[in-house]
Structure 1
Amino acid sequence: MTTPTEPPVPPGRPTTARPGRKLGPIIENVGSAHRAWLDPMRGTYLASGLTLTELSARVRFAKSKISELLRGVGLYPRWEIVCLLAVELDMPNWPLYRLWRQAAFEAHKSSEWVDNCTDRTPILTTTHTAPPLEHRAFRELAENDYTLFAQTFLDDAQRDTAVSDTFDILWLTWNDALASHDTRRFAWNVLRTTVMARTPHRDGRPELGVAAFDTVALRALTDPADRINQVAESLELFTAMSRLPPSQLDVMVLRQLCGFTPETVSALLGASLAAVRSAERHASRFLESVLCPPPTTEGNTP
C-alpha cells in the first residue's frame, strides 16, 4: 500500500460574493456522466466571482444559454462552448474534454457529432495538458488500490473507466481537494460516487461484481465441490454486505475482499484507525447476525 498517510497542506481559498440573480440548481434528470464534468464547472464558476453577465460578455454567448448549460437544461452542449467557458474559468481542458466526450456518447451523440465539435476547437491539446505535480503523485500512489476497490463492483472496462474518471474529476477539482479537511477523504468520496454511479443496484443496494468472487478463500480451494459451496457462501455474504451503511461497506470490501490492513484502509479513506476498526466491528456483528442467527427455542407443548 502506498497511499500517502498525510494529506497535502490545503491552501487558503477566498470566498466570493456575486451580485445578481443566483444560479439555479442542476436539474434532476442530468446523468452521472454529464454531472461528472458539470459539477466541477459549476463549482469553478461559483468560486470565480464572475457574474453570468460578465461571463457572457467574455465568451460572447447568451447569458440565458450559459445559465442553461450550467444547470444541465436543454440539449447536451457542444464542446465549443464548454471549452470557451473552461478557458475563461481557467479550467484544465484535457480532463474536461475526456469527461465531456464520454457523457456525449451516453447522451447518444454520434462519433461524427463529437468529432465535429472537436475539429472546431484546436485549442484542446495546446494548453493545460499536464495535471499538477501533487495530483500526479497522488495518482501514482493511490491508483492501484482504487482499482482493486472498483473491480469488486464493476467489470474490467467499467472499472478502468471509473478509476480514470475519478482522477479526471480530481484534476478538475484539485484546488477543492487541497482545501478540504482531508484530501484523501475528498478523493475517496469522488471514487465512491463514480464507482457507485456505474454499479448495478438491486432494491437500492449495490451488487458486488463477478471479480468479488476472486477471494482468498475461493482461490485456496481445489476441490470442485468445495468451490461450489464456497461460491454459495460468498453469494450469501455479498447479499448481506450490500445492506451495510456506505462507510461500513467500504471498510469490509477493503478489508475482506481486497485484503488490506486496517492501517492501509485508514490511509485510503482518510479516516482514523479507530473509526476503521469501529466500522469493521459493527459490520461484522451485523453480518454475523444475518448469516449466523441464534437458534430459536420452541416452547414445550402441553
Structure 2
Amino acid sequence: MSEDRDRRLPTGEPARAATAEIAVGPQESGRRLTLTFEAFWATHAGKWLAYAYLHTGGREAAREVARAAYERLRRVWPHALRQASVEAYAWAVLKEEVMEWLYDRRQPTALTGTAAFAVVTHALLRECQQQFAMLESQLGLYAAISRLPERQCDVIVLRHVIGYGDAQIAALLGVDEVTVRSYASRGRRKLAAALGIDQG
C-alpha cells in the first residue's frame, strides 16, 4: 500500500535542484540529503515513537510504525524538502503509517487505553483545575478527548503527551501558532461541555 502512495508522489526534479546537484556533484548532494534527513529524524524520532505508542498500545508496534515512517520518509526526502512545510509533510507520513497499521489489523486506536494517555489528563487537570475539579473518573475525560475533532485532539496530545511547544505544533500541522492556541482553547471548551462541566 505504501509503495502505491509513493508512486503517486511527483518525481520530477526542479531545474534549480538539478543545477545544484551538478555544481556540488551527485555524491556530495546525496551526502547532504542524508545529513539533513538524519538531523530531522533525530529531532523528532523520540516524540514520534511516543505518538505511535499512544495509538498502537505497544512498544514493539510503535517501533514498527516509526520504522515504516522512517523508511518511507527517507525514500521521498528530496520530495519532502520541496514542500511548503517539511514538518507538516513528514507529520502526514507518520499519521498515515499509524492509520495504515491500525487498519491492517482491524483495530481501533489504543489512545484511551495506553498508560501514557494519563499524562494528558493530569496536564489538563492542572491547566483547567476549575473546569475539571469535579471530575470523579478519568475515563470520561479519556473518551471525551478521543472524540474531539482530529485537529483539536492532535493539539491536545501533541502538547500534553508528546511535549511539543506551540511553534513546533504549528509547523507539524501546517498552521500558525494562533490557530494552535485556538484549537487548544476550543478543545478544552468541548471537553468541558462533553463532561457537563460549567465553565462559568
Please confirm whether the aligned pair reaches a TM-score higher than 0.5, indicating the same fold: yes
Q: Which residue of 2 aligns with 1:40?
A: 6
The one of 65, 72, 97 aligned to 1:162: 65
Q: Which residue of 2 aligns with 1:258?
A: 162
The whole-number CA distance in structure 2 between the counterparts of 1:136 and 1:39 is 22
Q: Which residue of 1 aligns with 2:47?
A: 145
**Contact 2:120 2:157 (8 Å CA) reproduced:** no
**Contact 1:183 1:270 (8 Å CA) reproduced:** no
The whole-number CA distance in structure 1 between the counterparts of 2:174 and 2:35 is 20
Structure 2 unaligned regions, length at least 5 = 14-29, 123-135
Q: State the number of aligned residues.
A: 165
Q: Which letter maps to 1:248? A: Q
1:61-93 C-alpha deviation (Å, 9 max, x unpaired)? xxxxxxxxxxxxxxxxxxxxxxxxxxxxxxxxx
Q: Counterpart of 1:181 in 2: which secondary structure?
A: coil
Q: Which residue of 2 aligns with 1:283?
A: 187
TM-score by length of 2: 0.69
Q: Which letter maps to 2:141? A: L
Change (3 A) 1:245 1:180: same
Q: Please say which structure displays the higher CA radius of gyration.
A: 1
Task: Give 1:205 deviation, angstroms.
Answer: 7.0
Task: Give 1:267 deviation, angstroms.
Answer: 4.0
The whole-number CA distance in structure 2 between the counterparts of 1:146 and 1:188 is 9
The whole-number CA distance in structure 2 between the counterparts of 1:283 and 1:257 is 15
Q: Which letter maps to 1:254? A: L
Task: Give 1:161 deviation, angstroms.
Answer: 1.0
Change (3 A) 1:257 1:272: same
Q: Which residue of 2 aligns with 1:193?
A: 96
**Contact 2:33 2:77 (8 Å CA) reproduced:** no
**Contact 2:85 2:174 (8 Å CA) reproduced:** yes
The whole-number CA distance in structure 2 between the counterparts of 1:170 and 1:273 is 25
TM-score by length of 1: 0.48
The whole-number CA distance in structure 2 between the counterparts of 1:289 and 1:177 is 39
Q: Which letter maps to 2:39? A: A
- Greater per-residue helix proportion: 2
Structure 1 unaligned regions, length at least 5 = 1-34, 49-127, 219-231, 295-302
